[in-house]
Amino acid sequence: MFSTYLVYYMLGIVMIPGIILGIWAQTKVRSSFNQYNKVETKHGKSAKDVARFMLDSGGCVDTQIQPIKGELTDNYNPSTNIVSLSESVYNQTTIAAIGVTAHEIGHVFQHKNGYAPIKIRNVLVPVMNISSFLMWPLIIIGLIMEMSYYVTAANWLIYIGIGLYALNIIFCLVTLPIEINASNRAKKMLLATGEMDTEEIKGVEKVLSAAAWTYVAALVTSILSLLRLLLFVFMMRGGDRN
């Protein structure tokens, strides 16, 4: 059986691959963005103007566009129907800025067209909010009850807590194709509307592909986090005993 010291050691090192992948992904995103944020598009339109044109052309005339502070903080909020573009994107006329903008517009059309993974994620969001609040109390209470010999009830609480924690993996699994699909929509829209040519799209593809790796890193991290939790429970339940 594992010794207590070995389990403590494993709890520490199990997250290292996820941390390394996350740092690499973030570095790749910033490197790609900075590279293509120095390359002007041929048409010279600002990101906000491209966003407005795409939205209007697709029948989303009610969707608003606003600037937001920060770098790469761009997002679409379906509850307010607002596309927020970061300071490093909003007024820029570069390949990177237009690519990031088109990605967010891709999310708008996902909601408009009823893209299935978006519907699934919308259902998961409130569940995730509840699970993040309940999972650790359930696990801790279960471990305490187990020491008091309420084994059956304790097992159920622990398993439910672990199950709630595992929802993070499902959420990441659903999010990944959503982001990839938004990027694919972005590239198609930019070509179809004539906002970019095939040569410029190559730069957009590099920026958005780099961004996709951050979601891969999130998925890997969530899997490793679950593994760490299982090791923690194993240790607390006396898994190191012979």
**Per-domain residue ranges for the chain?**
4-236
Q: Which of 71, 104, 179, 195 is catalytic?
A: 104
Looking at every residue in the chain, the average pLDDT score rounds to 87
Residue pLDDT, tens place only, 77-129:
999 999 999 999 999 999 999 999 999 999 999 999 999 999 999 888 888 88
8-22, 82-96, 111-125, 225-239: the lowest-pLDDT one: 225-239
**DSSP character for 115?**
-
Of 76, 106, 75, 87, which is closest to residue 46 (Cα–Cα)?
87
Bridge-based pairing state of the strands 82-86 and 64-68? parallel
**Does position 236 have pLDDT exceeding 70, yes or no?**
no
Q: Token pair for residue 170?
A: 């499902």
User: Of 166 and 23, which is predicted with more confidence?
Assistant: 23
Q: Token pair for residue 12?
A: 């520490």
Across the beta sheet with 82-86, the strand order is 64-68, 82-86, 75-77
104 is known as an active-site residue: yes
The confidence band for 133, taking pLDDT boundaries of 50, 70 and 90, is: confident
Give the torsion sign (CA, 215, 120, 61, 65).
Answer: negative
Rounded average pLDDT over 52-56: 95
